[in-house]
Amino acid sequence: MNSNQKKPQGLSSLETLYPFFNSLQEFVCIISEEEKFEFANQSLLSFLEISSTKLKVLTVCDLFPLFDKNFKKPHSQIDLIHPKSNKKHTFVLNFSHDIDGKILYKFTISPFLAELPETSSSSENSLFNIHSSKTKKTQKENTHSEDQLTFLLRNLPGMVYRCKNDPNWTMVFVSEGCYDLTGYKPEDLIENKKIAYNDLIHPQDQIKIWDEIQEAIQVNKKYEFVYRIFTADQQEKWVWERGQAAFDNHQQSLVLEGFITDITDRIRSEMEAKKAQQQADALREALTEITTQLSLAEVLRKILDSLKKVLSYESATLFLKLDGEVKIVAARGFENTGLLINRTFPSNHKLILAIDEVRKPLIIKDASKDPRFEKWDIKERSRSWMGIPLIRNHITIGYLTLDNNQPDIYTEEDANTAQLFANGAAIVIENAKLYEKSQQLATSDALTSIFNRRHFYELALTEFERSKRYKAHLSVVMLDIDHFKYINDKYGHLTGDQLLISFVQRVQAELRISDVFARYGGEEFIILLPETDNRQAIQVAERIRVVTAEKPFTNNQTAPYITISLGVATLDSSCDNLDTLIDRSDKALYEAKQIGRNRVRSWNH
């Protein structure tokens, strides 16, 4: 501290409590022998809507017309006149106590007669306490006064302290409240006998506290902050501290005096409220994301991506009830995600039945110990598991399942959030189904009822952008019926049309619900395979080639065999747009035709 700086003055024993009084929501005041206000805490000043300077001009009788210095009898009532609203508020005396040559009055506002001003919250102030100290001449010894101060300090909900301004915050005095606050007795902290107070402070908060206190000392101001400490049993607590610099009784060495109290419950409540708000915002954003989608296939793919913004998972699946079975229509986080799509499970599986029975999320703390998982084939990393029903109009239309590789992860709070998301997702799925039906004529090929070329491009463009953004696999298969002109010429166009319809049905049986199958033109078709790498796409193409060629397409008196040629292309870093990906599959198809037809070729650089 430089020589020009004003030195902080020493504090009386009662003034040491000022930081504590100002930390209270209750009302506190100190009244002099001349019946003037010496001190009023921030809660009382806010209630009276008056500054500390203006309050000191008033006498006690200006606010308490019937105030009597002998007013000590418990449960007595006294009226206060609000200086601005002029309204009367009735208080009840709890007790009076002599301390430090003054009389401590404790008042409680009457919950029946109180009428608080509009600027105050009645819910917060209806049971506020008022503590007042009235100066009184006393002949008691100073030692008795100190005993009374000790009595008060012992019952404060926190710790009054005096410490040195050193890196350890070496305590020279602490009140007995330090034990409830820290788990250490006063003698453990004084002169760092057992532990220094700085060692209780969270390491991440230590530098911040030092810097703020030094800055306050330099400008001769009070300091106030919130930080974390570790108690003797290593529990983390949040504390609020307020204090100021002063000199010791000999005006020699700089010390700090203040008050520290536990605010852990308040901080945790604030954190829980903030977390709840963040989760609500995330849920709203996630549901908005899927609501903007109209295509059923896009909705199904988007649901699990959006869900991860609300709840953490290692892997997840989306099931829909179709034709008496439960079918996987979307999956995330598995090693062979693409191969899971279209997998079916019996609707009477034990896990499915368990969800149906409760009609709410089913949480399993450790799937590895649950016998119901013995025939659950998608449990690569399942320890924690949660199954959530998708319910629409009181009917379960499907399920969401979440997996985590750590046990006992999911909570009832997570379950509630998951169900809210699932309820919204169920509505979106049903709406998407209705939309697809209404759009089918505009988006479908008139002959085969699969997507037409224009709508395929719209869906593929959306999926292409999503795959680029999330770095997901994406493949395209272009296929063409070999020598189809010969079929038309030999059997006629009606037979050719019937063959196309039967061919499409045969191909659809090999595809997943998330795959996009379209007639590209004439006898040429195209398939979009989301979440499918090149190796898997070649396997799909080969499977379609085999099922096409192995059986004839029977129609009335004819039963022609046909073969197809297929070209495969997969999204990679060199593919900048959808047109390039489609063009590559077309070139691969051309190569398959050139080298003999009835085969699969993959595009290579």
Q: Supply the residues annotated as catalytic.
A: 523
> CA-CA distance, 236 to 182, in Å (whole number)?
10
At 338, is the secondary structure helix, strand, or coil? helix
Cβ–Cβ under 8 Å, residues 570 and 468? no
DSSP-derived secondary structure letter, 7: P
At 588, is the secondary structure helix, strand, or coil? helix
Cβ–Cβ under 8 Å, residues 72 and 134? no
> CA-CA distance, 522 to 500, in Å (whole number)?
9
Cα-to-chain-centroid distance, residue 353? 30
b (16+ CB within 10 A) / e for 546-578: eebeeeebebeeeeeebebbbbbbbbeeebeeb
Tokens of residue 117, six digits: 């001003």
> Which is it for the CA torsion 88, 89, 92, 98, positive or negative?
negative
Distances (CA, A) of 24 to 71, 376, 396: 24, 58, 53
The burial of 142, by beta-carbon neighbours within 10 Å (0-12 exposed, 13-18 middle, 19 or more buried), is given as exposed
139 CB-near residues (< 8 Å, 6+ apart): none
H helical segments located in 49-141? 52-57, 60-63, 122-125
> CA-CA distance, 472 to 494, in Å (whole number)?
42
Distances (CA, A) of 541 to 267, 345, 585, 588: 59, 25, 12, 12
> CA-CA distance, 561 to 459, in Å (whole number)?
32
Cβ–Cβ under 8 Å, residues 400 and 307? yes
Give DSSP secondary structure letters for 426-482.
Answer: HHHHHHHHHHHHHHHHHHB-TTT-SB-HHHHHHHHHHHHHHHHHHT--EEEEEEEET
Distances (CA, A) of 470 to 72, 162, 310, 317: 74, 57, 17, 17
Distances (CA, A) of 123 to 91, 101, 118, 127, 396: 16, 35, 12, 8, 44
Q: How many CA atoms lie within 13 A of 594 on its CB side?
A: 8
Backbone phi, psi, residue 302, to 5°: -75, -30
Cβ–Cβ under 8 Å, residues 91 and 78? yes
Closest CA to 600 of 571, 564, 570: 564
